[in-house]
Each structure stands twice: as C-alpha cells, then as structure tokens.
Chain A
Amino acid sequence: DQQVKQNSPSLSVQEGRISILNCDYTNSMFDYFLWYKKYPAEGPTFLISISSIKDKNEDGRFTVFLNKSAKHLSLHIVPSQPGDSAVYFCAASANAGGTSYGKLTFGQGTILTVHP
C-alpha cells in the first residue's frame, strides 16, 4: 500500500514557464510534508516543507500548496530554469504520533526536465 504517490513519472517544461509537480497521500495522520530534489549520483537535498497547519509555503521561486481535504500537495516552480532539471520527491511524516511517527514516507519521484 503506497501511502504517498506521485502519479506523473516525468514532466517537461520550457525555461521561464511554471513547473507544477503533484503528490497525493492517503494517511490522514501525516502532518508534515517535504519536497526533495535529487541530481544523478547525489543524495536527495531538502527543498521546501509545509506543516499541516498551513496551506501554502513560499521560498523564492518555490511554493508548496497543501490541500488537506483532498490529501494533495503540489510544488510550483516559477520561473523554471534548466538547473531545476532533476528528480523531485515528495515525502510525508506524522510528527504527532502513530505508526508513521518519525518516519519519512516517499513518493516514487517525478523527473523534471526544463528545456532552454
């Protein structure tokens, strides 16, 4: 049972346009969500996070939106740059307790390609 799903394996975007990466989750205990970025031959690096008490968090070109009722989050990158080309993973944890306490559950990842 995959509790965090990224249904788009890949996304291709033109430089300067908006990239929207989506993530769905099923576990209602999840209360903290993160996006990681991964380049080939490197480990994932933290990008941005959001707590369930918020519905939006912004950091420069990156904005994460959380829709708790739909159990859906998205990452918006605008404007997209060629250097943003990487694999993006969403992850979720349940910091309030439960079986997912202290654990990050990851989605499968979405390969983003930004064309010049």
Chain B
Amino acid sequence: ETGVTQTPRHLVMGMTNKKSLKCEQHLGHNAMYWYKQSAKKPLELMFVYNFKEQTENNSVPSRFSPECPNSSHLFLHLHTLQPEDSALYLCASSQDRASGMQFFGPGTRLTVL
C-alpha cells in the first residue's frame, strides 16, 4: 500500500450505531487531518494531529471522537450521529503541521439514516 488509505470506503449507519473510520498513511508523515466535505460546501477541517498530539479541534461536536495511536494511523469514532452528518470524510497527512502540502485519502462516504 502506498499513500493514504481509508476504510471503509462507504458506510451506512443508523443514528444509534457506533462505528469507526480508519485512516493509514504510508508516507512517513507526522501530521494527520480529518476533513468533512458536505455537498456544495468547501472541505471543512475537523481535527489536526501533529506527532500524535491533537493540535486542532475545529469546534466539532463530541459525537465525533478522533484517536491517533501513532503517526501512521488515525481513527474517527462515530456515535449517535445525525442525518446532517452524512458527508464524505477525508483523511490527509503532511510531513508536519508546518508543511502546507497535504496528501489525501480517497475518503469514506458516510450516510446516516
């Protein structure tokens, strides 16, 4: 595997379910990001991790819970989501937080019923 991978690619869940999104980067980077892309809106930054430490939480509701066990892996734990949370969730990585160039995974298309 090369680059940034995300699983699952598609996820349908009910509002009472608990699920997790997984991201893995094979680039040796130290910063990882979660973005949300809703229809007809710009990519919205959710969380930033730099050297496994969370450095940014962009006012994200607590029903989204990130986890970064090491510099290569990033998770987004989901619980009691709302239908308006349906979106494309993108993971990205960069050499470090100061590096402007980020590399993106293919995304997880999430549908909340």
Contacts and interface: CB of A to CB of B under 8 A. Distances in A.
Given A34-B101, A49-B101, A109-B42, 15 more contacts: A34-B100, A36-B104, A42-B106, A43-B104, A46-B103, A95-B98, A102-B31, A102-B50, A102-B56, A102-B98, A103-B45, A103-B48, A103-B56, A104-B43, A108-B41
Interface of B: 4, 6, 31, 40-43, 45, 48, 50, 55-56, 90, 92, 97-98, 100-107
Contacts, number: 56
Given A34-B101, A95-B98, A102-B97, A108 B40 contact: yes
Contacts of A43: 4, 6, 90, 92, 104-107
A88 interface: no
Contacts of A108: 40-42
Contact of B106 (A41, A46, A109): A41
B42 A2 contact: yes
A90 to B, nearest CB: 10
B109 to A, nearest CB: 8
Contacts of B55: 102
A89 interface: yes
Contacts of A4: 42
B100 A32 contact: yes
Contacts of B48: 102-103
Interface in A51-99: 89, 93, 95
Nearest to A46: B101
- Secondary structure dominating the interface of A: loop
Contacts of B103: 46
Contacts of B90: 43-44
B97 to A, nearest CB: 4
A102 B56 CA distance: 10
A89 B43 contact: yes
A106 B104 contact: no
B102 A104 contact: yes
